[in-house]
Amino acid sequence: MPMTLRRCRPASFLNAIAIVATVMLVVACGEGKGTGDGAPSGAGAPAAASRPAPAPVVDPEPTAPVDPTPAVTDPTPSPPPAPADAVVAAPDSYPPLFAVVKTTRGTIRIKLYPNEAQMTVANFVNLCRHHYYDGLTWHYVQPAFKISTGDPAQATKSGSLGYFINHEFSKLSHDSEGCVSMSAAELHKVDSMFFITLAAMPGTDLKYSMFGRVVEGMDVVRAVQLNDRVDSITIEGDTTWLMLDYAPEIATWDRMLEGNLRGR
């Protein structure tokens, strides 16, 4: 059997293979070195660490400029308002009061004395509020002495006022004409009748309660005749405190007058 002999490769071929192997080794060693800053290169190298982004800058809100001059405050602040239900103090004395008496002869103006004859004036004012004297006559006229009106027999259905008040005596004196006083209905008692003097009557100071004086119309007083009529009597002035002070008495008087006045 013929023998197959292996052929031997020439030396040049082997040298070429050695050169190629050397080149490949050099290339492989170059890829394994660093890039110069110590960090590995190539696709397998880890990514560089990222730095945090800087925070955005926010502009501050504008503010009003500060006034270097201090605010001026009122050194005398206003007092607080008084409460709605504040109590008003009563006056030391009653204000002036006047009675305007209109008659068939003219008008008579009387100054009242509420501070000297309080209850007497309160009773008189209350009767005038009820128009008690309207239409009554001057039932007593004596020249150079006095004229009188206010008879309950004319004004009431029962012929009586239904109540009395006590006399009030003061320093007031019947020292001239024009004095206005209550007539005595009973001993130390008065009701609605009053008179105006036509002359001084000093001896009657402790007998009749004087509560007023004529300041206008004295000529009318002198001209009044028997059975002349009183048209009306109205009160001028603030009677508030007087009526408040005698509110209990006035309530009693009003009960007596209710349904008892003629033509009311």
pTM for the full model? 0.67
Q: Which residues pair with 147 in a beta bridge?
A: 141, 196
The three-class DSSP label of residue 54 is coil
Helix/strand/coil for 126: helix
Q: What is the mean pLDDT of residues 134-156?
A: 97
Which CATH class name applies to 97-257?
mainly beta
Is the CA virtual torsion 118, 124, 126, 128 positive or negative?
Answer: negative
pLDDT at 119: 97
Pairwise CA distance, residues 108 & 1, whole Å: 189
Helix, strand, or coil here: 72?
coil
Q: Please report, for the chain, the start and end positions of each structural domain, with discontinuous segments joined by +.
A: 97-257
CB burial readout 74-113, b (16+ within 10 A) else e = eeeeeeeeeeeeeeeeeeeebeebebbbbbebeebebbbb
13-48: pLDDT as tens digits: 455 555 655 656 655 555 545 444 444 444 444 444
pLDDT tens-digit map of 89-142 = 678 899 999 999 999 999 999 999 999 999 999 999 999 999 999 999 999 999
> Which one is predicted more confidently, 244 or 49?
244
* Residue 160 and residue 152 in contact, taking contact as beta carbons nearer than 8 Å: yes
pLDDT digits (tens, 9 = 90+) for 208-234: 999 999 999 999 999 999 999 999 999
pLDDT of res. 162: 93
Q: Judge residue 26's burial from the number of C-beta atoms within 10 Å of its C-beta, 0-12 exposed, 13-18 middle, 19 or more buried.
A: exposed
- Is pLDDT of 75 > 60? no
Per mean pLDDT, which of 1-15, 18-32, 133-147, 162-176 is the most reliable?
A: 133-147
> What pLDDT, on the 0 to 100 scale, is given for residue 186?
73
